[in-house]
A and B are shown apart, each in its own frame.
Chain A
Amino acid sequence: MRDLEELSSKGLLSIERVRVTQAKITKLGTNYLDKGLPEERLLNNLLRLNKLVDIKELKKVVNLNPNELSAAIGILRRLGVISVENGKVRLVINKIDLLREHSSRIKKLMERLKEPRIVSESELKDLRELRRRGLLELKEVRYIRLRPTQKLLDLIRRGLIKEAKVITALTEEIITSGLWRDAIFKKFDLSIEVPTVHPKKKHPYIQFLNYVRYVISNMGFTEFKGPYIESELWNFEVLFVPQHHPSRRSTDVYFIRNEDLNMELPEDIIARVKCIHEKILNYSWDMRKALRPILRTHTTPVSMRAIHELGSGEYRVFSLDRVFRPDTPDPTHLMEFHQLEGIIVGKKVTFKHLLGFFKEFAKKLGLGDVIFKPAYFPFTEPSVEGYIRHPRLGWIEVFPGGMFRPEVLESVGLKGYKVAAWGIGIDRIAMIFLGIDDIRDLYTNDLDVIKRMKIPSKVFR
């Protein structure tokens, strides 16, 4: 086909795509041609019996199935060859020739279609009866009609078209036999489209997340994980968020129905948290509330668990994982999304290092300049929100962070060290990378959407 397309694009061939109908008699048709049509066979029987015959009796005598018999009776009656009165069949002798004419016409039509043949629209009309009786099968056939163009004919006339051995596709035989020595390889026309094939691949969003893991671990961060179901203690209390804080209401947190879950009881933390909340935040702290299980609303508890586990020292940790907040999915909101969380722990870590981290991370991801604005998070002081320039939306907030408050560090028992912390909503950056405007397309199981998404070229730069 590619060869033909090429000749056509050179104006040497005209290609016409044609659809026609092909007809052939069915097995039943062949059978009737051999044994005679049911109406013929019925007539022969009637002639042999030569009297008024009861239809019921006829059924016993004639070797036809009930459908064929009633069809045959119908045809003979229509032609007037028989009449039926009170269930008895009478032959009308002088009309017998009409049936002979009828059957020879039908058989002639069938005879011509023993082998498949292309039939015209008008022929199809004559074949209607055969089709109705299931004696005919029709098939649509498509083919290409090729005609040399005037240009080709002229070239041939002028002797400019010469025969040569042209190789389109090499075969083992051509190679081993040496046939290729005398042949020319057909040149490919690159302007002709080749068929599209979609490769099986990792999900583009997963590729992005892997890339983020690669970048952040190259910056010296070690990966940590924590549970999706947290106690309020880890999710809020250790982070200096009071029990009556608006961000802890059921419009902002998923609570869970399973009440019989075993939640861990880190006694050192409980004692310190109770003291900090009652003394500094000035309210009576309720331990039952603190131990209630919820779906974590951020990955900051993962950082707190890391500090609790690793204690003092110079280290940096990251977590890239899912968090949950009650929401109805739309192009910019999800109830489940990813956060890239990280901490830098050290004796001399300061706020300028946090800002420096944001700039460096943005540079590594190719996100350009970062500007900073003051922000508020209950667990960091100073707090900051970093903005990057979006290709269409202008400055957007992507880097929230801060220095953990002394109360926060005290609740997990860290003394003499400072911690720069951040929790990035990485999905917003994923959308820029993957060039999509609907956040729901990140978490997609729709194969069409997955095929449409390109591998983010930034991953290679």
Chain B
Amino acid sequence: MPVINVKLWDLERLVHENLLLSELEELLTNFKAEVTSIEGDDISIEVSHDRADLFSAEGLARAIRFWKLIERPKEIYVSIYKDFKLDITNAPRYRPYAFLMVVRNVSLDDESIKQIFQLQEKLHMTYCDDRRLVSIGLYDLDKLKPPIRYITVPNASFRPLDHAEVMKLDEILRRVDKGIKYGHLVRKGEYPLLVDSAGNVLSFPPIINCEDNRVSESTRNILIDVTGTEPKLMAKIITLMSFNVAERGYGKAEIEVILTCDEALTKTLIDTLKYREYSVSINDIEDIIGVRLDINEVSESLIKNGYIIKEISNSEIKVRVPPYRVDVIEIVDIIEDVAIGYGYNRIETCTYPPTHYGEVLGLERFSDVVRELIVGLGFDEVVNFMLIDRDFLAMLMDEKFIELANPKLKSYSAIRNSLIPSILLSIKRNADRYAYMKLFEIGDYVKIHGGSMKIERSLAYGIYGDKVTLTDGLIIMKSLLNTLGMKYELRETKMRIFIEGRTAEVLVNNDVVGIVGELHPGVITKLGLSKPIVIGELVLSRLYSKLWLP
């Protein structure tokens, strides 16, 4: 979840009221957010991924104002910027779309600029997939000469943000940090560029903006752009940006949308900017939450959550959802807000009566029967991870196994394909303190056979100590299978880790269900051990499938 940093004084300025820290913490719970640290006036808040409108102080303050009934939610009108339409006919084909919006009458200082850029950055990192799908730019509108065009150029030059010298696009990709980081998103010689009518470069999206028209404390009117590949997502992002930036007008801001030459595209944006209307009935709410609420309580909850009430009857409310609430997709999303407004802890809970009996899987019950038997035979149970060191596994087992592409540690870089390696790990772990051990584990492994995966439930046991031989291992196998009432045969076999002539397969109904062997001294020394080891493995899932055979 994103963590954002805000200043308490800035939040108070936007809320128009003083806030106690304890009150703030309590309030944030309702927005699924949580204070993670406080240092003086600096507060770090973990916000919920779905509430992109809360990724900066502006949105948080707006939500707090509504919740505390300081302000009643009302619609904000977006007007159309009349002077020009955005031309995208020459946009690069691999990144073909762009939207522009304007927010007028903002007053900025250092902190508010920080908040706006924090919002931009958090949106880039989350919804925009690190600029791959959408990238966002902000400019001082008064330094530009509209109309603005989104075009493709083989090259160009401008002064990149935070740089004193003019550079060519190729040079930016080579020399500027952002160019190096995001260069893979553009194609050489087909560079996207936003330019004004005087030929001034606004930005080289999705890489970097131009220094000359950057947003500063003296900026009054802001131009916002989004460019990318997913028009609907872009429309949501530019909506979020412009509505939050407008909070910096402290009630005086005006939002304008610049139309695009492409009508379908324009429609996408205009639709996104509309307040969407939903009807929520008492029945709908009861259907999801399980509680029949009073219509006034519902109305109050919705107002606290920033919804605009259009109509109210005895059993139904028509609400309008602000466009920046991009998380509201369905009626259930509104119903959740009703429940939050009502208070989760006020909901009278009850249990849903079961209509059938519960049951533990047969294989789990069978595993536990075997577990009890082998404990009775004097074994200690150990638990290991299914993740294991790939080299360790390859050293012991010949069969293929699942290997991780991005392990964090080599010790956990593969999925075990037998429980024998886990038992050997366990013996190795204790050998410095125990001269004699009898250990077992019951758990799952994953094997690969003919390109398919199969999960097996397995028992492996190990006996470690001087003069331990195959017989000791066979006794255990015999005791287990006899007690389970299963007839079995032994057949000599070979396995790389075991001594030849001291390795036996266990067969039930002519199928191999297990193996017992004396570990080869070469393997014992490779493990850094010095005493004989006998190991047995019994594949319980295979055995279980035979339990009902005559």
Contact = CB atoms under 8 A, between A and B. Distances in A.
Contacts of B348: 352
A213 B453 contact: no
A406 B330 contact: yes
Given A206-B381, A217-B358, A443-B383, A381 B404 contact: no
A374 interface: yes
A210 B368 contact: yes
Interface string A303-326: 000000000001110000010101
Interface stretch (B142-150, B239-247, B284-292): B284-292
A280 B378 CA distance: 59
B351 A213 contact: no
Contacts of B40: none
Given A220-B357, A355-B347, A376-B51, A244 B133 contact: yes
Contacts of A356: 349-352
Interface in B341-358: 344-345, 347-352, 354-358
A461 interface: no
B333 interface: yes
B527 interface: no
A318 B453 CA distance: 23
B383 A205 contact: yes
Nearest to A316: B354
A445 B382 contact: yes
B289 A336 contact: no
Interface in B474-532: none
A324 B439 CA distance: 26
Interface in B300-353: 329-330, 332-333, 335-336, 339-340, 344-345, 347-352
A350 B382 contact: no
A326 B407 CA distance: 7
Contact of A255 (B404, B412, B451): B404
Contacts of B127: 244
A220 B229 CA distance: 49
Given A283-B133, A328-B408, A356-B351, A447 B358 contact: no
Identify the interface centre among B51, B289, B290, B403: most chain A CB within 10 Å of its CB.
B290
Interface string A387-411: 0000000000000000101110000
B349 to A, nearest CB: 4
Given A352-B289, A357-B352, A381-B332, A450 B382 contact: yes
Contacts of B233: 282-283
B77 to A, nearest CB: 25
A272 interface: no
Contact of B340 (A260, A374, A447): A374
Contact of A256 (B29, B50, B339, B403): B403
A406 B345 CA distance: 24
A257 B415 CA distance: 11
Given A350-B289, A374-B30, A381-B330, A326 B406 contact: yes
A443 B360 contact: no
Interface stretch (A47-55, A153-161, A195-203): A195-203
A356 B349 CA distance: 5
B361 A225 contact: yes
Contact of B344 (A250, A384, A405, A446): A384
A378 B48 CA distance: 10
Nearest to B450: A262
Contact of A315 (B355, B405, B429): B355
18 contacts: A200-B380, A245-B49, A256-B404, A260-B451, A280-B329, A283-B133, A322-B444, A328-B409, A336-B387, A351-B290, A353-B350, A373-B32, A374-B31, A374-B340, A376-B32, A382-B289, A406-B330, A445-B426
A284 interface: yes
B442 to A, nearest CB: 8
B386 interface: yes
Contact of A447 (B31, B48, B133, B430): B430
A206 to B, nearest CB: 6
A259 to B, nearest CB: 9
Interface string A336-357: 1000000010101111110111
B345 A372 contact: yes
Contacts of A314: 355-356
A227 B352 contact: no
B405 A446 contact: no
B138 to A, nearest CB: 23
Interface of B: 1, 29-32, 48-51, 125-127, 129, 132-133, 229-233, 236, 286-291, 329-330, 332-333, 335-336, 339-340, 344-345, 347-352, 354-361, 364, 368, 371-372, 375, 378-387, 400, 402-409, 412, 415, 422, 425-426, 429-430, 433-434, 437-439, 441-442, 444, 446, 448, 451-453, 455
Contacts of A355: 344, 347, 349
Contacts of A254: 404-407
A103 interface: no
A405 B350 CA distance: 21
A327 interface: yes
A219 interface: yes
B339 A382 contact: yes
B506 to A, nearest CB: 23
Contact of B385 (A260, A262, A336): A336
Given A256-B404, A376-B49, A450-B382, A283 B230 contact: yes
A200 B32 CA distance: 47
B381 A353 contact: no
Contact of A349 (B345, B352, B358): B352
Contacts of A24: none
A176 interface: no
Nearest to A446: B429
A298 B455 CA distance: 17
A445 B388 CA distance: 13
B288 A403 contact: yes
B403 A258 contact: yes
B50 A378 contact: yes
Interface in A213-234: 213-214, 216-225, 227-229
B360 A257 contact: no
A206 B129 contact: no
B129 A244 contact: yes
A273 interface: no
A206 B415 CA distance: 20
A91 interface: no
B126 to A, nearest CB: 6
B352 A450 contact: no
Contacts of A227: 453, 455
Given A256-B405, A373-B29, A374-B32, A324 B437 contact: no
B452 A261 contact: yes
A103 B37 CA distance: 90
A335 interface: yes
Identify the interface centre among B29, B125, B354: most chain A CB within 10 Å of its CB.
B354
Interface in A348-375: 348-353, 355-357, 359-360, 371-375
A448 B439 CA distance: 13
Given A202-B381, A374-B344, A352 B350 contact: yes
A382 B358 CA distance: 26
Nearest to A377: B50
B255 to A, nearest CB: 22
Contact of A445 (B340, B356, B425): B425
Given A350-B287, A374-B336, A447-B434, A246 B126 contact: yes
A347 B513 CA distance: 45
Contacts of B409: 328-329, 335
A355 B342 CA distance: 15
Contacts of B382: 203, 444-445, 447, 450
Given A219-B358, A356-B351, A445-B429, 11 more contacts: A203-B383, A227-B453, A228-B386, A257-B403, A261-B453, A326-B407, A336-B385, A355-B344, A381-B332, A382-B289, A418-B287
